[in-house]
Structure 1
Amino acid sequence: MPLMPGAEPYHHHGGPVGVLVCHGFTGSPASMRPWAEAAAAEGLSVSLPLLPGHGTQWQDLNVTRWQDWYSTVEREFDLLAKDCEQVFLFALSMGGLLSLHLAAQKGAAVSGLVLVNPLVRMPGQSHRALPLVRHLVPSLPGIANDVAKPDVNEGGYTRTPLHAAHSMAQLTRLVQAELPQVTQPLLLFRSPQDHVVPAASSELLLSRISSTDVEEKLCERSFHVATLDHDAEMIFDGSLGFVRRLTTAAKG
């Protein structure tokens, strides 16, 4: 199955500071490419992988599980860590969930996280039916393109595959238990008008992590995919300033 336009992974070999960029559930690197390119322009080494099952057709995602997505994220992190003195994590939505799991596992090897509307808690109550419903219905309407800016396409699926969604729900429970192990600096961008991930997700994240260097910024003009929305430049500038601050501190 050929890749959707813009779903190609992106890599850039830059300086000794690396960034692993991770897209969200049913999305693709298209939602993160401008952010990745902004980091590359800053001289950072960048890895933006395509998560298994994404970027083709939703049926491909339905035969993958969170362990498949995480193995790709961990592999790309380890490759960056071999060549870089510091590695940061930039992520959107479920990419934030995977990044938090990685931060809990890797500890000090992760220098900091920049998360945009991270999924830490499944929205609503309907996910409680996933263990049964996924065997009856393969998919539900998609969640892609929650963007306030007109004529923007994040390269996501039009359907939400339920076996994969059930696996993601399992990962949320694991990461919720791991949050106290997250100690790295965190810059959190949250959209008050997010129609995919509720504010309760970020509230849970902030209440449980052990990080002491934490800042939250609101994307007032954007919906869920804020990396392609009106506040994208604020995210790019803020994240690069975050990296500069922490790399300068490490050298000092």
Structure 2
Amino acid sequence: MPLLPGAEPYHHRGGPVGVLLCHGFTGSPQSLRPWAEYLAEAGLTVALPLLPGHGTRWQDLQVTRWQDWYAEVARELLLLADECEQVFVFGLSMGGSLALRLAAEHPELVSGVVLVNPSVRADNPATALLPVIRHLLPSLPGITGDIARPGAAELGYDRIPLHAAWSLAQLWRTVQQALPQVGQPVLLLRSPGDHVVSPANSALVRARISSVDVTERLCERSYHVATLDHDAELIFEESLGFVRRLTGVTQGTEATDQRG
């Protein structure tokens, strides 16, 4: 199945510090592409993979599970760790869950975590019905496009495949159990106006992780997809400052290679 234009993965070979970016459920790398390019321009090595089942049609996501999405980002983490001295993991929404699981399972590889409106729990009581509903309905209306900035758009599915949504709920449970194993520095960026993920998600992360170096910033002018919204520049600058503080690198090297 051909990729939707703009959903392509992005890779950039830069300096010895690497960043892995994880996009959200039913979304695509397009939601994080400006962030990835900003980090690349700063001299970092960047990986922004396309998660299995995403970037084509929602029916393709229906046959995937959270283990497939996680396997892809875990593979990218290992590749970055082979070529970089330090690696940071960034995530938006469900990508935040994937980032947190990577940090918990690979503390020796992940130097820090940046989360934007992370999704780690069920906000809708109907989630409890997914084990049954998913066999009766194939999909429900989508959740992409929660952006305050006029003219900005997120590339994603207009339907939520319910088999995949059921698997997402399983991912949340595994991540919640692993949160105490996350001890790396964390930068948490949260939108009070988020219409997709409740503040309880970020509160749960802060309450359960073991990290002592935790910084929280509010994206006051943005909705859920804050990386494409009014506070995108804030996110980009804060995340780069976070990486530079922890690595001592104030200026990156120029990129030597780029691959799609």
Q: Specify the TM-score bucket, using the shorter chain as the normaliser.
A: over 0.9
Q: Return structure 1 stretches of 4+ with deviation > 3 angstroms.
A: none
Secondary structure of 2:140 counterpart: strand
Aligned residue pairs total: 249
Structure 1 Cα separation of the partners of residues 103 and 114 of structure 2: 12
Shift of residue 248 of structure 1?
1.1
Are 1:108 and 1:184, in contact at CA under 8 Å, matched by a contact in 2?
Answer: no
Secondary structure of 1:174 counterpart: helix
Q: What is the identity, as a one-letter code, of the residue corresponding to 1:69?
A: W
Partner of residue 58, structure 2: 58
Deviations 1:49-104 (A, max 9, x none): 00000000000000000000000000000000000000001110000001111111
Structure 1 segments unaligned to the other structure (5+ residues): none
Deviations 1:141-195 (A, max 9, x none): 0000000011222111000110000001001011101100000000000000111
Give me the identity figure in percent. 68
Secondary structure of 1:164 counterpart: helix
Partner of residue 81, structure 2: 81
Structure 2 Cα separation of the partners of residues 4 and 109 of structure 1: 32
Partner of residue 35, structure 1: 35
Give the structure-1-normalised TM-score: 0.98
Q: What is the identity, as a one-letter code, of the residue corresponding to 1:245?
A: R
Structure 2 Cα separation of the partners of residues 70 and 108 of structure 1: 18
Q: What is the identity, as a one-letter code, of the residue corresponding to 1:107?
A: P
Partner of residue 71, structure 2: 71
Structure 2 Cα separation of the partners of residues 240 and 156 of structure 1: 26
Partner of residue 196, structure 1: 196
Partner of residue 185, structure 1: 185
Structure 1 Cα separation of the partners of residues 215 and 99 of structure 2: 17
Structure 2 Cα separation of the partners of residues 177 and 206 of structure 1: 14
Q: What is the identity, as a one-letter code, of the residue corresponding to 1:190?
A: R
Shift of residue 108 of structure 1?
2.9
Residues 73-112 of structure 1 aligned to structure 2 (within 5 Å): 73-112=73-112
Residues 1-252 of structure 1 aligned to structure 2 (within 5 Å): 1-248=1-248
Give the structure-2-normalised TM-score: 0.95
